[in-house]
Structure formats: structure tokens, C-alpha cells
Chains A and B, each alone.
Chain A
């Protein structure tokens, strides 16, 4: 069985008395798209820099393709750092080819691949333009292309969407999907949940330097209590009807123009479905004026897990 592109085994990194990353373990399967989520300062960039061998863990091990992150196995990796920049006096073509060469490509191959990438991303006419003369968005595209130039098996993208306008964000989403379709494993960090929802097979969420979640999107949603909204006639006390059930009920503020009915928010415990709520209401003879199952959002999962981490580990992070 092939070694996983990335494996973290009880990785800890401290800066003085500050636990930037604490006992984090996870691993990636080949061909997956993994969202590496966490709030600012959670330890995402530090984790990625350890994955790439830029810095070493104080404890535990970060492995790339089954071994330590050496320049040899880093050739199979493309990396887009969070803080981006290029040599401003080099042309777009040369800068992409330079990074390709550093990853082991022949100069002629790197140059033709750079031309090909620039052409396919609408920057063909700017291939000989200096980076300093490109717009910020174009320069970011050039940097992204320089991470793909050597056709890596594994792409690590640190906050790839930050600083991009919506059009370029959509382009990048397409690019990530295309690369993944070719079999490339992709790990990207973000704190924008919509991108993760659209792109990821799996999520790893860290907060306060600790891993708080590792699983599929479905599993992430399952961590949250599902909710439904149900409307009854205005004088009905729904909480009395659900008092002996595991469902939590809460009356929502009255909606203007709907004086004859009231909306309730009902939280579903693990394993319960909206059908269970409907069944209970019918059994109790409640006249249902309205019913809306509410799908959980990744944002809610994120906020909930981050809050939990803050409560548990916030004070512990400084040793």
C-alpha cells in the first residue's frame, strides 16, 4: 500500500512557552481534497511549514510520502504559501520556469510548461511581462501556476483564496477541482467555510493548536444538533408538547404580518430526524401552520468547535 502523501503523528511545536501546535495527528489519503480549517492563529501555517520541512516539530513526526520531508520527496509537492511574493524583476514565464527548475525540471521543459500554463490561464500575452508590472490578481495567478508547474502529486495551498476577487476565487476553485480530477491530492487551509464546503472530501479543523475535528463533511455536520422550524397557531405552547422528549424547543420572535401563528425552533439530538419532530407533532394533534427543516452549515460547525477549543484550551496554550 502506498504511503500517504502526508501524515502527522502527535506533532507538537512550541515557540518559547507558546504551544503553536499541540499533539496533532492526522493523515491524508491519496487523491483526496482536504480542507485544513481553523481560525487565524490556530496553528495552520505552522503545521503546513512543518509538513514541508521548513521547520521541525519539537515532538512527534510529520511525514511526506512515508518519510521525513526532504528535498527529494518535496519534489512531489507543490506549495503555495500564505504570504505570497515573487521576484518582481523576473518575467512571469521565467519565474514559473525557475520554480519548476528548482523542483527538478529541465530548463527547456520548465519554460514550455510555463508557456502552456500561462496560455491556458489567460496570461499568454503577459508571459514576458515583469511581475512588478502585473496586477495583483495576475501576479497571484502566476504564483499559483508556479506551484503547479512541475505537476506535483500533492498540493499544499495555504489560504489560497485570500486576496483574490470573486471571479479569481471561482477560477481557483475550478483549478483545484481540475487538479484533483487528475489525481492530485490537495490540502488547503482556509477560514472561509464556503470554499471548504464546495471542494472538500474531508476536513481537518484545528483551533488553539489542537486538532478539533477530522472527518468528512457529513461527519462534521453530524457533530451539530440539526434544527427544524415549525409554526403553530399563536396561542399554542409547543414546549409543553415536547417536554418529555429529547427535543429542545425555543419560540422565535413574532414575524410581522403573521399575528395568528408563531414559529418554533426545535433542536434535534444526535440520530434524530425532522420526521421524528413531525410525527410527535401529529401525535399530539398540533395544527401545523408551517414546517422548515434547517440544514446545518459548516460555519456553525466551525464556530461551535472553535468555541469549544477556546473554552478548553485557550488558557492552556501559554505554558
Chain B
């Protein structure tokens, strides 16, 4: 064991003192944060775009303007309702009443919101689509504006015309060079639906106020769960947290395993290409060498986890009492043994499984380039859990997810995301045992390959010949 420890120590020190490890350690949380906030960043960083409406009157344009305003008002009302989650002293009913009063006095949505929720206007949509008078009436004349050859003057200076709605009788045509972004089209559809409803009500002599009353009388759908944390059964973040946290754990596990097993690959390639194996093998046995390498890099990943956990804990302590109660309750799920124990077992077995595979592959290769060709099938398998994670969000009880959890190479990642669905205990235990058995098989096979590579100098040609042999073919020299 002492020799395995020495190998582990050398491996650990070799990587922990490398600047690349620390860069990776710090970049990963930054990259993850960016990944989380990127969609809203992209949304908020869209350029302001001009659009025009060409119609005989102005009913469609007016409704479209009104919709934009109402949309902001709805966002503001939602924000006020949810504010109590972040500030237990906040009275949402009083704040909503004040907001409505200010709107009725003619103040803008942003001003009314700011008066009850400071900084709240930041949540409102940017005025990213501005309606401007059409610079021409025919498509031929509009074409240079739409293609950007000519610009149109507007509230924030000259810009190309992003889109134009042309209403001709009952037909409405949307013209734009952008054939991908359908935000404006969706808004227009909602407005058209409302216009159609108004016209229908008018045609049937139904007062339009009925529409507002229909909206006011629409009952609120309350979501309840018998397993909710709240006694009343009301579903809160605390109930959804295990799902989000398990998916987060699964993704982190994936990220962690594939960050560190690369060290095993490159380290073994270095030993092979530098001809160190023979010197090592007169001092340590092959199992000791393998154990030492696996343990050394395992220690490295535990260091990584510890530092990330410390950063996370530090941030939580800094946030202190500002964390809303149901979010705090949800975060407590992180340390729930129901989730933590399967996660730790999955991490250990997943690491050993993929680590052994990477060690074995490294022992057959003299260069990283050689390793790339052997790694391709492994990387494809590695990507499958990532593809299945969205399924686990939308449908955690999916039969596909259920079946995939029994595929040993995927089990470490998928068994975690199934924990919140509370599968039968026997199933969970069976999957973990199966994962353990398969890991043992992989380690056994990897040791054989490692011996072939390290002791007998087997390389790419032998690997190719073996692979071709599976299909009963002889490898080309």
C-alpha cells in the first residue's frame, strides 16, 4: 500500500502544482454561472429594432402598442406577488394596490413598480422593438430599408427597418430579413387573436367590458402536492429543489469526472512516451501503479469538490438571512442523505469506471493524437447523459430515462436524477450494485489492457487488430 500511496502522492502533487488545474478550478464556476445567465444576458443584450405597420387605419398598431404596455404591467404584477419570497416583511396586497393606484393616476409601469419595489423596473422588458412610421408604402420601396441599405430615423437615431407588418384586407403579411427570431410574430399573433375576439364581441353586440370581467373571474389555478414541504400542500421551490439539485449534481458529476479522467489519460501517455514504465514496474506492482494513479487523481477531484463546496458555503453564509425560507429549505436538500449518498457512490464508481477506461486507453497511445481516435467512441457514450438531462427535467418518470439508468456507463449520472422521483428502494440498490459489478469488470479489463500496453508495448495497431478481430476481420498492416 505504501508504494501505491507514493504513486498517488506523486500524481496528486504533479497536478495540484500545475497552473492549469487552478485555472480550471476557477474557470468552471465562472463558466457555469455564465451558462446559467447567458440566455437572459442574450435576451437583454438584443439591439433595439424598428418595425412598422402598414394598414388602412391604426387598430392593429394601437393594439400592438397596448399589448407591449400590458405585458410589462403583467410582469410587474408577478414581480410584486413574488417579492414576499425574498422579503418576509413585504406585503404584496398593499403593494399591488399601490401599483394599480399609480397606474390609474397615469404614471408609467416602470415608475409605478419602482415606487413599491425599488430597482424592480430592471425586470421589465427593454423596449427592444420600437414602432416607427413606415418610410414607404410599397414593398419595392421598403426593400432597401429591410435589407439595411437604407436607414430610417427613429427615437434612438437612424437604424435599418427590422420588420414591417402589411395589412391588406383580412391578410396580414410580416416582412423581415430575420427568418429565425419569431418574437415579434408571436406578439402579433396574440394581438390578432385579441382583435378577433373584440370584433366577434362587437359583431354579437357583447360589451367589451365583458372581456375584462372574464379575465378577472378566471379562477387562479393552485398547484398542490401531497408530498409538499408546506403543510397546506402548496408547491414551492423547496419541493422542486430536489429535482433541480439532482440534475445539478448529475451535471457536476459529469463535469468533474471528465475533467479529471483526462489527467489520467495524459499522465499515462506521458509515462508511455517517456518510457518510464519499466523503471516503475521494477519498484511497484501493476495493481499498485494503477491504484496509485486512480487514488492520486481521485484526491485531486476531492480537492476540486472541497474548494467548490467552500466557495458555495462561503457565498451562502455571506447571503445569510437574505435567503428566502423556501429557497433555504430547498438548499437543505443538497445535504439530504437520500441524494447525497447515491451521488457519492455514483461519483466514486463513475470515476473508477471512466478513470480505468482512460488509463487503459492512455497505456496504448504514444501521443494525444493517437488517443483521440480511440477516445471518439467513449466521448459519444459520455455525451448521452447530457442529452438525457433535459428529459429528466421535462419528464423525470420517462420510460427512456428509466431504461437508460440500467445502462452501466450511464448509471452514475442518471441514477441521481431519478432519486427525487422516489423509485423503489430495491431498484436503487440493484442499480448501484449493478454499477459496482460493472465497474469491477471494467477495472479488470482495463488492467489487462494496461498490462498489454505498459509491459508488452501493445499500441494502436494491436488495438485496431483486436477491434477488427471482433468482426472477424484482419487489420490492414
* Chain A binder among B32-40, B66-74, B102-110, B276-284: B276-284
- CB-CB contacts below 8 Å: B257-288 with A: 270, 273-276, 278-285
Q: Whole-angstrom distance from the CB of A50 to the nearest CB of chain B? A: 11
Q: CB within 8 A of A83: which of B6, B275, B285, B456? A: B275
Q: CB within 8 A of A98: which of B6, B274, B281? A: B6
- CB-CB contacts below 8 Å: A65-98 with B: 71, 74, 77, 79, 81, 83-90, 98
- A86 to B275 alpha-carbon distance, docked (Å): 8
- A98 to B270 alpha-carbon distance, docked (Å): 17
Is B224's CB within 8 Å of the partner chain A?
A: no
Q: Are A99 and B283 in contact (CB under 8 A)?
A: yes
Is A146's CB within 8 Å of the partner chain B?
A: yes
Note all chain B residues with C-beta closer than 8 A to A71. Answer: 3, 283-285
Q: Are A98 and B279 in contact (CB under 8 A)?
A: no
Q: Are A52 and B276 in contact (CB under 8 A)?
A: no
Is A101's CB within 8 Å of the partner chain B?
A: yes
Q: Whole-angstrom distance from the CB of B49 to the nearest CB of chain A? A: 54
- CB-CB contacts below 8 Å: B382-397 with A: none
Nearest to A77 among chain B residues (CB) is B282
Note all chain A residues with C-beta closer than 8 A to B284. Answer: 71, 102
Q: A13-54, CB under 8 A of B: which get 1 and which 0?
A: 000000000000000000000000000000000000100111
Nearest to B279 among chain A residues (CB) is A81
Q: Whole-angstrom distance from the CB of A227 to the nearest CB of chain B? A: 42
Note all chain B residues with C-beta closer than 8 A to A53. Answer: 282
- CB-CB contacts below 8 Å: B1-56 with A: 3, 6-7, 10, 14, 18
Q: Are B275 and A85 in contact (CB under 8 A)?
A: yes
Is A55's CB within 8 Å of the partner chain B?
A: yes
Is B302's CB within 8 Å of the partner chain A?
A: no
Note all chain B residues with C-beta closer than 8 A to A83. Answer: 275, 278
Also in contact, A84 and B275, with CB within 8 A (given A55-B455, A102-B3): yes
Nearest to B15 among chain A residues (CB) is A89
Q: B394-427, CB under 8 A of A: which get 1 and which 0?
A: 0000000000000000000000000000000000
Is A202's CB within 8 Å of the partner chain B?
A: no
Q: Are B279 and A87 in contact (CB under 8 A)?
A: no
Q: Are A79 and B278 in contact (CB under 8 A)?
A: yes
Note all chain B residues with C-beta closer than 8 A to A84. Answer: 275
- CB-CB contacts below 8 Å: B115-142 with A: none
Residue tally, chain A, CB below 8 Å to B: 26
Q: How many A-B residue pairs have CB under 8 A?
A: 60
Q: Are A90 and B14 in contact (CB under 8 A)?
A: yes
Also in contact, A89 and B14, with CB within 8 A (given A102-B3, A102-B280, A146-B279): yes
Is A210's CB within 8 Å of the partner chain B?
A: no
Note all chain A residues with C-beta closer than 8 A to B18. Answer: 89
Note all chain B residues with C-beta closer than 8 A to A147. Answer: 279
Also in contact, A85 and B281, with CB within 8 A (given A55-B455, A71-B3, A102-B6): no
Note all chain B residues with C-beta closer than 8 A to A77. Answer: 282
Also in contact, A54 and B3, with CB within 8 A (given A83-B275, A86-B274): no
Q: Whole-angstrom distance from the CB of B77 to the nearest CB of chain A? A: 61
Nearest to A103 among chain B residues (CB) is B283
Q: Are A81 and B3 in contact (CB under 8 A)?
A: no
Q: Whole-angstrom distance from the CB of B454 to the nearest CB of chain A? A: 9
Q: Are A102 and B275 in contact (CB under 8 A)?
A: no
Q: Are B270 and A87 in contact (CB under 8 A)?
A: yes
Q: CB within 8 A of A52: which of B7, B10, B282, B285? A: B282
Q: Are A54 and B281 in contact (CB under 8 A)?
A: yes
Q: Are B274 and A102 in contact (CB under 8 A)?
A: no
Q: Are A81 and B274 in contact (CB under 8 A)?
A: no
Q: A295-316, CB under 8 A of B: which get 1 and which 0?
A: 0000000000000000000000
Q: A239-272, CB under 8 A of B: which get 1 and which 0?
A: 0000000000000000000000000000000000
Q: Whole-angstrom distance from the CB of A49 to the nearest CB of chain B? A: 7
Note all chain B residues with C-beta closer than 8 A to A55. Answer: 455-456
Nearest to A49 among chain B residues (CB) is B278
Nearest to A70 among chain B residues (CB) is B285
Nearest to A131 among chain B residues (CB) is B274
Note all chain A residues with C-beta closer than 8 A to B456. Answer: 55
Q: CB within 8 A of B274: which of A54, A74, A87? A: A87
- A319 to B273 alpha-carbon distance, docked (Å): 32
Q: Whole-angstrom distance from the CB of B474 to the nearest CB of chain A? A: 14
Q: Whole-angstrom distance from the CB of A241 to the nearest CB of chain B? A: 58
Note all chain A residues with C-beta closer than 8 A to B7. Answer: 102
Also in contact, A74 and B282, with CB within 8 A (given A84-B275, A87-B274, A87-B276): yes
Note all chain B residues with C-beta closer than 8 A to A99. Answer: 279, 283
Q: B440-471, CB under 8 A of A: which get 1 and which 0?
A: 00000000000000011000000000000000
Q: Are B10 and A79 in contact (CB under 8 A)?
A: no
> What are 13 of the A-B contact pairs (CB < 8 Å)?
A49-B278, A52-B281, A55-B455, A71-B283, A71-B285, A74-B283, A83-B278, A87-B14, A87-B274, A101-B6, A102-B6, A102-B280, A102-B283
In order of increasing CB-CB distance, the 7 nearest A-B pairs are A85-B274, A102-B283, A83-B275, A81-B278, A85-B275, A79-B282, A52-B282
By a beta-carbon cutoff of 8 Å, the part of chain B in contact with chain A is: 3, 6-7, 10, 14, 18, 270, 273-276, 278-285, 455-456
Beyond A74-B282, A87-B274, 5 extra complex contacts between A and B, CB < 8 Å: A79-B279, A84-B275, A86-B276, A87-B14, A90-B10
